[in-house]
Structures are given as structure tokens and as C-alpha cells.
Amino acid sequence: MLNNFTHKKIGKEKSGELPKNGAEKLPEIYKAEAEEQLEKPRGGYGMIVLACFLATAFSLAAIFVYDGFFREPVGGGVAGQRVIVDKQENITVTFEERLGYLNEQASQVVVSFYKKPTETSGYFFETAESFGGGVVITNDGWVATSKGLLAKIGKEKYIILTNNQKVFEVESVVLDPGSDLAFVKIDGRDLPVAKFGETKNVVSGQELYGIIKDFPKSRMASLHVAEVDLKNENEIIESTEKMNLVVFCQEGYDMSLLGAPLINISGEVIAIVNNQSEAVPMAYTKTILDGLLKKNKITRTSLGVNYINLAKHPKIDSKTGELVSRGALLSGYKNVTAVVKNSQAEKAGLKSGDIIISVEENTLGEKESLGEIIQNYLPGQKIKMTIVREDKEKGIEVTLGKTE
């Protein structure tokens, strides 16, 4: 037992003697220290290792949660790059950074159509000399634009200026028989190409961005989708051979946007501007690229029917009084017949009044029309359809044809 102790005060020490029972009156830890009976904790090293392990685990978990929930990738860009935007930043700054990245990446695949100079000396690529734009869809130089742009150019001679400031002569022009898209070939090498987006994923009010390439910079126009619908809102008859859906925007389209791509926030090209009110869906190009690359021409798949999309224009069943709101009702109007004569549809036995409710595994609905579904198949393919005829479902097989 300790019989002596030391009182410590500022600047001096004082020695004294503990009473025999003094240790019993001290707090437990001091009592144990006084009696030199404090023991080393058991398993000390194990506790240290466990503490380190838990600290590491919680740190990794925190990083995972932060990355997973407080950061998000923006776009893929046309070059497949990723930008990480930290949501802890000011929202305005984040949005500006996102748009800046979007403009930078998208402008790489946008080209400009300029009036061909009569002489090279002293020629400047002024905005006034630009007809409009287009977007690169293959790395060897196929450019998608609109028939509206080519109509504006008319008989004028023109050249194409790419993002890397190279001038190209036009080798060939191919028009799409099924839509208002046009394709122009230049002698390109290893050009960056656009990513295609789906029109069926576009909703009213969604913001899209028109890219205007004015040498040497590019500009962005912010637009808001009004709807994706038929060109003429008074028309309800659609064709499996004509891609008549267009993207309408609330603001309309300035003529400087003619031929320009409309992109979403992910950098995907949704449509190409055709005139001051319409933009043509880019998804229409998916099944025609192979023929464009191999044969320098476009071949569209043909079924040969005209129809009413019941998802958009439902009808009342005269027998049951129920609302019919799915499928494609084969129907004619004035000089348009429901089933085109000598078409693949006629050969398969389809008739006016039939309602096509599915094609293979695709159920017809508001998101995708019969025409869009048919264009996802290639000429010569055999497809199975389910139709409703006289209130009974029936299966039918059709071999698809082609139009050029």
C-alpha cells in the first residue's frame, strides 16, 4: 500500500501521508492505481485489430453510399465518356457544367452545310452562307439530315464542314422513301458518330437541345416537346410504309436549326429538324443503315396496310358497347384502301376491318405503332400476327416485302 502521496499545485509540490483507510475513500480507479492492482485489458491486440477492421469497413461503405447516391453519370457523350457531377455542388453550376459538356460532345458529330465558294481565296464561313446542319452516323462519312434542308439548298452547290474544320465535297445523296430523312455521303475517315435515341421514350414537356454548328463554334437552342404525333393532326389513317410521326416542340423551330439534331440530356439524337414545325425521329434510321452502307440505297420493309391506331383513337364496339383501345384497325379513307392491292398483307389474307393486336411478342399500344414495329423487321422475314376478326382472335403469318 502507498503510505506517501504528493499534492501537485501550480509552481510547487507538497508531500504528505495517506491515512490507512484513505485509499478506500478514493474513486475506484485511483484506489486501484494506489494499490497497483490495475490489470492490463485482456485481448488488447485483438481489440485494436477489430477496431481497425470496423473503421475500414465503415469507410468503404461510406464511399460506396456516396458514389451510389450522391453522384450520377451525365450522358455518355457521343464518344462514350462519362462526367461525374457532384450533387453537393450548387445546382445552377452543376446544370451549366452538364450543358457545357453536352454541347462540347454533341458538336463533335454535327456538320454544317455551306454554300460552295466560287474561289478559295478570301472565303469566310459566315453564318449567312450556312444552309443548315446534319449529324454524322457512320465513321466513314454518312451524314443524316432532312429533306427540308435539301429543299432549301435546291440547285445550289454546297460543301460540308466537319467539327475538325475540314471541308468535304458531297459524293452522293440518298432519300428515305419512308420518311423525311435524307443521307449525304462524304469521304470521311474515323469520324465520331452520333448515338441514336428512342422517340417512344420522349414525353410532353421534356427538354431537348438543338445543336447549331456555326464555324468555329456551336450554339444550343433549348426546346420543350409539345408532343410526338402524326404530321397532320387531323389525319388518323397511318401506313405501315410511311413514317409519319414527328416531334413537335412548343417553341417551334428556327430556320437556323434546319437539318440540326435534337438531343436529350444524355447526348442521344432524338430527331432531325425538317421544317419550322416538325422534326423527324432518328429511330427511323435503325433498320436502313445496312443497305445504305452496302448498296448505297435505302430499302424499307413493306406490309401494305393502312390503319387506325386504336390506342390513340379508340372506338366503341357496336355489338358490346365496350371501348376498344388497343390494336391497329385496318381501315381505308376516300381513295386510300385498307389493304393495298397485291401487297404482302393481301397475299396473307388480311382484310379491311381486321384488328391487328400483336406482332410476334410485341403488343400494339400507344408507345409503338404498327408501322414502327413492322420497320423493326427486315424484308423477307416471316412474322406471326394475332388479329381480331368478327370478335374472334386468329393467328396469321406474313412474309414481309420491301420498298425502295
pLDDT tens for 346-401 read 999 999 999 999 999 888 877 778 998 998 898 999 999 999 998 899 999 999 99
Q: Assess contact for 246 and 279: CB atoms under 8 A.
A: yes
Domains and CATH numbers, the chain: 4-34 (no CATH), 75-297 (2.40.10.120), 299-403 (2.30.42.10)
Q: What percent of the chain has pLDDT over 70?
A: 75
Length of the chain: 404
Q: Which residues of 55-83 are buried (b: 16+ CB within 10 A; e: fewer)?
A: eeeeeeeeeeeeeeeeeeebbebbeeeeb
* Closest C-alpha among 386, 360, 359, 391 to residue 240: 359
List helix spans (H) across 71-172.
Answer: 91-106, 147-153
Beta bridge mates, 142? 185
Give, rounded to a whole angstrom, the gap between the first and last alpha carbons of the chain.
109
Least confidently predicted of 92-96, 113-117, 327-331: 92-96
For residue 129, pLDDT beyond 90: no
Average pLDDT of 3-23?
42
Q: Assess contact for 83 and 101: CB atoms under 8 A.
A: yes
pLDDT for 20-74, tens place per residue?
444 444 444 444 444 444 444 454 555 555 555 555 555 554 444 444 433 344 4
Query: What is the 3 state secondary structure string of 116-131?
Result: CCCCCCCCCCCHHHEE
pTM score: 0.71
Identify the residue whose cell numbers are 453564318: 127
pLDDT value, residue 85: 41
Q: Assess contact for 112 and 161: CB atoms under 8 A.
A: yes
- Give 166-180 as a DSSP string: -EE---EEEE-TTSS
Q: Assess contact for 133 and 157: CB atoms under 8 A.
A: no
Q: And the C-alpha cell for 377?
A: 423487321
For residue 323, pLDDT beyond 70: yes
Beta bridge mates, 94? none
Higher pLDDT: 373 or 318? It is 373
pLDDT for 237-293, tens place per residue?
999 998 888 999 999 999 999 999 999 999 999 999 999 999 999 988 888 888 888
